[in-house]
């Protein structure tokens, strides 16, 4: 075989191999990796969002993180494609503090923060020196303090932005309670020693706490309802539009509204409330 024929044969083999690889790649489903924190939102992705995305040829993977920091860092660095664990206030502050280009796509039904206790049956039983634990990240700490104020347990200083309040901004604490901010994931474990704990919905579910067992449940403002977040640069990409379409679909609503589903107890975002009106 001449040198020219050998080269021609090698080129043909190379083109054949490239064609085979392209065909294989095109046959693989497109993969979307969701990051979540412990709790019910991984189930929400798997049960209510994933089926609709699979119909469009996507493979959906849920990756669970142990805290509220890693899912945003992983999203920003491209390790995951979207996350579902946080409310808008937390997302905006975290993104600003870390200089991350991540944005909210759409709000979803959310489990509210609850005041839980293993020893009390009513808030009136709280007494001087009782320990109450709450989240230590700035956004959820301020949120917890606002919840305590609505419950009549404290008042926050008038000249303080209530969305930025810390335990040092408590003006009145008539029952003499002791407040201990801790990492959010640890709060359910403090119920064996503290009189009570303010536990975010996802960590309450992860610990087996039922919303119905809380002594009080927070009424969520819209900016405290959880959102699906994506990289800002991806907002106009087809896979992001398909995620949003899945959440807006009747199939998603059917899963959420199923009376046997835990999601039926969640507080719905405004867009979902409006869609349900006749």
Tens digits of per-residue pLDDT, 52-61?
Answer: 999 999 999 9
Q: Are 87 and 226 in contact (CB under 8 A)?
A: yes
pLDDT at residue 14, rounded to an integer: 43
Q: Using H for helix, E for strand and C for coil, what is the string for 102-156?
A: EEEEEECCECCCEEECCCCCCHHHCCCCCEEEEECCHHHHHHHHHHHHHCCCCEE
Q: 114-219: which CATH topology? A: D-Maltodextrin-Binding Protein; domain 2 (3.40.190)
What does the pLDDT read at residue 16?
36
Per-residue buried b or exposed e for 223-246, using 16+ beta carbons within 10 Å of the residue's own CB:
bbbbbbbbbeebeeeebbebbeeb
Fold match, 29-110+223-276 / 114-219 = yes
Quote the pLDDT of residue 78.
97
Give me the pLDDT at residue 277, please. Answer: 83
What are the pLDDT digits (tens) for 76-117? 999 999 999 999 999 999 999 999 999 999 999 999 999 999
Model confidence over 211-229: pLDDT tens digits? Answer: 999 999 999 999 999 999 9
Where do the structural domains in the chain lie, given as residue ranges? 29-110+223-276, 114-219
Fold of 29-110+223-276: D-Maltodextrin-Binding Protein; domain 2 (3.40.190)
User: Which of 23-27, 206-210, 246-250 bottoms out in mean pLDDT, i.e. has the lowest?
Assistant: 23-27
How high is the pLDDT of residue 28? 52
pLDDT tens per residue across span 20-46: 333 323 335 699 999 999 999 999 999
Q: Does the model's pTM come out above 0.85? A: no
CB atoms closer than 10 angstroms to residue 12: 10
- The mean predicted confidence, pLDDT, of the chain is 90
C-alpha to C-alpha distance for 125 and 211, rounded to whole angstroms: 20
Angle between helices 138-150 and 88-98 (to 10 degrees): 150
Query: Quick check: 72 pLDDT over 60?
Result: yes
């Amino acid at each position: 075989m001449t040198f020219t024929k050998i080269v021609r044969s090698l080129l043909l083999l190379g083109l054949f191999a490239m064609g085979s690889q392209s065909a294989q790649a095109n046959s693989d489903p497109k993969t979307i990796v969701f990051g979540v924190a412990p709790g019910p939102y991984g189930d929400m992705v798997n049960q209510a969002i994933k089926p609709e995305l699979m119909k469009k040829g996507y493979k959906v993977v849920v990756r669970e993180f142990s805290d509220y920091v890693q899912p945003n860092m992983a999203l920003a660095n491209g390790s995951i494609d979207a996350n579902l664990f946080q409310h808008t206030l937390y997302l905006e502050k975290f993104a600003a503090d870390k200089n991350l280009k991540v944005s909210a796509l759409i709000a979803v039904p959310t489990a509210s923060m609850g005041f839980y206790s293993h020893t009390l049956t009513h808030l009136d039983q709280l007494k001087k020196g009782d320990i109450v634990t709450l989240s230590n990240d700035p956004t959820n700490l301020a949120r917890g303090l606002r919840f305590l104020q609505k419950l009549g347990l404290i008042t926050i200083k008038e000249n303080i932005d209530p969305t930025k309040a810390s335990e040092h901004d408590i003006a009145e604490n008539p029952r003499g309670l002791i407040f201990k901010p801790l990492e959010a994931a640890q709060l359910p474990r403090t119920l064996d020693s503290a009189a009570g704990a303010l536990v975010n919905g996802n960590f309450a579910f992860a610990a087996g706490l039922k919303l119905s067992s809380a002594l009080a449940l927070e009424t969520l403002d819209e900016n405290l309802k959880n959102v699906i977040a994506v990289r800002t640069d991806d907002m106009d990409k087809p896979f992001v539009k398909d995620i949003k379409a899945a959440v807006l679909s009747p199939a998603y609503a059917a899963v959420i509204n199923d009376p046997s589903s835990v999601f039926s107890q969640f507080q719905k975002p405004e867009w979902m409330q409006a869609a349900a009106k006749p």
